[in-house]
Amino acid sequence: MDKLTRRLRDDASQIRADVSPELDARIRASLEAVEPVNAESPKPAPRTPSMWWWSSLVGATSAIAVIVLLNLGTQPELPVPTENGVPTLAPSLNIERAVLTAPLEAELENLESDLRKAEEALRADIGLDRRAEDTPDGS
């Protein structure tokens, strides 16, 4: 132990600090009046690995959706051929409409086509049934 350390200890021991019986009684009385707080608070349930997968998936999907939406709003204006063959810049509103509605129109056409086919199939079925009812022997 070096000189400074020894002197620090010696000088600390010269500081009078006696816990008087009054202070002792006061502390004890205070402790009797206090209830220990139970730290056994319910812990949150541990997260399962599938939850991490789901949260990652949701996060990635949200990020992709944001990127797509941002890119849709900033698409460059496409040159549109005019009657004299010189391409001109069309207003962004028309471009957006063309980009957004084209797939919907295709879908609509497909749906209408499906509907027509279903209707024809139904009619054919009904026609066969009627023909079957018309012939008494069922042939």
Partner 1 sequence: MSEELTLIDSAKAGSVGAFTELVGRYRGGLLRFLITRCASVADAEDALQDTMINAYRYLASYDPRWRFSTWLYRIAIRNAAKQRRDGFAGIDDVADQGPDPLAMCIDASERENLWVTAKRVLNDDVYTAMWLRYVEDMSINDVAAVLERSGSWTKVNLMRARKALDAELNAPGTQSEAYG
> Using CB under 8 A, which of the segments 8-16, 45-53, 65-73, 107-115 binds partner 1?
8-16
Mode of pairing for the β-strands spanning 88-89 and 79-80: antiparallel
DSSP 80-122: E--TTS--EEPPHHHHHHHHHHHHHHHHHHHHHHHHHHHHHHH
Contact call for residue 43 and partner 1 (CB under 8 A) = no
80-139: which residues touch partner 1 (CB under 8 A)? none
**Smaller CB distance to partner 1: residue 25 or 67?**
25
Q: Using CB under 8 A, which of 23, 58, 63, 68 touches partner 1?
A: 23
**Smaller CB distance to partner 1: residue 13 or 50?**
13
**Neighbour-count burial of 126, counting CB atoms closer than 10 A to its CB (0-12 exposed, 13-18 middle, 19+ buried):** exposed
Contact call for residue 42 and partner 1 (CB under 8 A) = no
